[in-house]
Amino acid sequence: MGRMQGEKKRAAEICRAKKNFLLLSHVDPDGDAIGSLLALGLSLRRAGKKVIMANPDGVPLLYRFLPAWDEVRCDYGELLARELAALEVIITLDTATGERLGDWSRILKKDSFVVLNIDHHLTNTRYGQINWIEAASSTGELVQVLLSELGWEIETDIALCLYTAIVTDTGSFRFENTTCDTHRNAALLLQKGINPAQVTEYIYETKPEAAVRLLGRALETLRISPDGRVAWLTITNSTLAVVGARGEDVNGIVNYAKEIAGVEVGILFQETREDLIKVSLRSRSRINVSEIAQRFGGGGHPRAAGCRVRGSLDRVREEVLAGVTAALAGGENTGAGDSQYS
Ligand code: 5GP
Ligand code: MN
């Protein structure tokens, strides 16, 4: 049995055998972090388990159409002593490093639980006792595979969470991580009765006005390297304040930089309140941006990665651009083969 198969089987055994779970996903959550969390949490509950679901930043407004979103807790300090005492298993979802759990990472340091780490980021640092790390479109897709391994029914509301995870992480089935399996799994979810047009309307067509105004401001900052292969956008704290946007409204804006003809790497630099610059990297087909992000303490996927770097906007921009330029000059070609379509 391959290691991955073994880890999947162990994950299933734990879900079947244990009773008290804490499920966690990463800071600054996206559709996969929230969708996989809710899908596995609700499934475990329906199997009679006690489950606490938590995310250090809570559920963004965008994902509040999902079932049980209001049961996701965010404040680690509010975890009661008796809840902590009853816990047997911590399952982390979509979370490549322990630090990506924010405050909740403290709980990993206690040795009284089994930590089951389920993720599709190949940069995952394997901080659990059981680490099921497998390349898939999304962690949601891995949860779907786990539920079928368990033989647990995927009810419509759980299908909605899984479909949201897959749609958001594949950019609506556009990105390189979309495979035959992804479509097959998504088809199974549609059979459970969800309405794909309605889901994508919730995700992409119910933006607050401020998010669209933020996009306008961000696009005005567009810069392109002299050779046309790197494009970057910048969002400062004051940009957010001027239009009244929230941090989560920034999601997706980096793609505009990458979508320009000839651009190989698109980057978004975003100031945060904590003297940290959030950097989002997207690559068209050749550069493995997760390697670049890892050099700055971050991670992700070959075509989509990120890091948070301490320092001023100017300095971080200069350092990351130098890293990207070096990768392009070295002709780094990792992560996957050249796109068959380019
Ligand atoms: P985004 O740019 O949309 O925030 O993230 C792109 C991808 O990189 C996602 O899969 C996300 O989980 C990962 N990522 C973003 N920021 C970080 C980071 O600071 N550390 C790690 N390990 N991964 C990150
Ligand atoms: Mn993901």
Res. 335: pLDDT tops 80: no
Res. 242: pLDDT tops 80: yes
Ligand 1 centroid distance, CA of 17 (Å): 32
Ligand 2 centroid distance, CA of 191 (Å): 23
Which atom of ligand 1 lies closest to the CA of 28?
Answer: 4
3-state SS class at 324: helix
CA 209 to chain centre: 24
Which residues have C-beta under 5 Å from ligand 2, the single-atom ion?
32, 94, 138-139, 169
Q: 90 has which bridge partners? A: 22, 115
How much is the pLDDT for 49?
Answer: 98
CA distance 97 to 90: 14
pTM: 0.94
Write the residue with the smallest CA distance to atom 16 of ligand 1: 306
Same fold, 2-204 and 209-341: no
Write the residue with the smallest CA distance to atom 2 of ligand 1: 280
Ligand 2 centroid distance, CA of 212 (Å): 24
Domains in the chain: boundaries: 2-204, 209-341
CA distance 128 to 265: 32
pLDDT digits (tens, 9 = 90+) for 144-181: 999 999 999 999 999 999 999 999 999 999 999 999 99
- Residue 289: CB within 6 Å of ligand 1? no
Ligand 2 centroid distance, CA of 136 (Å): 9
- Residue 299: CB within 6 Å of ligand 1? yes
How much is the pLDDT for 327?
Answer: 96
Main-chain phi, psi angles of 310, to 5 degrees: -75, 140
pLDDT digits (tens, 9 = 90+) for 245-255: 999 999 999 99
Helix, strand, coil fractions of the chain, as percent rounded to 5: 45, 20, 35
CA distance 123 to 99: 13
Ligand 1 centroid distance, CA of 300 (Å): 5
How much is the pLDDT for 3?
Answer: 72
pLDDT digits (tens, 9 = 90+) for 71-108: 999 999 999 999 999 999 999 999 999 999 999 999 99
Res. 339: pLDDT tops 50: no
Write the residue with the smallest CA distance to atom 15 of ligand 1: 306
pLDDT digits (tens, 9 = 90+) for 43-82: 999 999 999 999 999 999 999 999 999 999 999 999 999 9
pLDDT digits (tens, 9 = 90+) for 178-236: 999 999 999 999 999 999 999 999 999 999 999 999 999 999 999 999 999 999 999 99
CATH classification code of 209-341: 3.10.310.30
Ligand 1 centroid distance, CA of 299 (Å): 6
- Residue 298: CB within 6 Å of ligand 1? yes
- Residue 96: CB within 6 Å of ligand 1? yes
Write the residue with the smallest CA distance to atom 20 of ligand 1: 298
CA distance 228 to 230: 6
| The domain defined by 2-204 carries CATH number 2.60.40.790 | no
Ligand 2 centroid distance, CA of 227 (Å): 32
Banded model confidence at residue 1, pLDDT cuts 50, 70, 90: low
Ligand 2 centroid distance, CA of 118 (Å): 10
How much is the pLDDT for 336?
Answer: 47
**What strand order describes the sheet that includes 299-300?**
223-224, 230-235, 265-271, 276-283, 304-310, 299-300
Pocket perturbation via mutation, ligand 1, pick of 133, 290, 307 by most ligand atoms within 8 A of CB? 307
Banded model confidence at residue 112, pLDDT cuts 50, 70, 90: confident
How much is the pLDDT for 340?
Answer: 34
Which atom of ligand 1 lies closest to the CA of 279?
Answer: 2
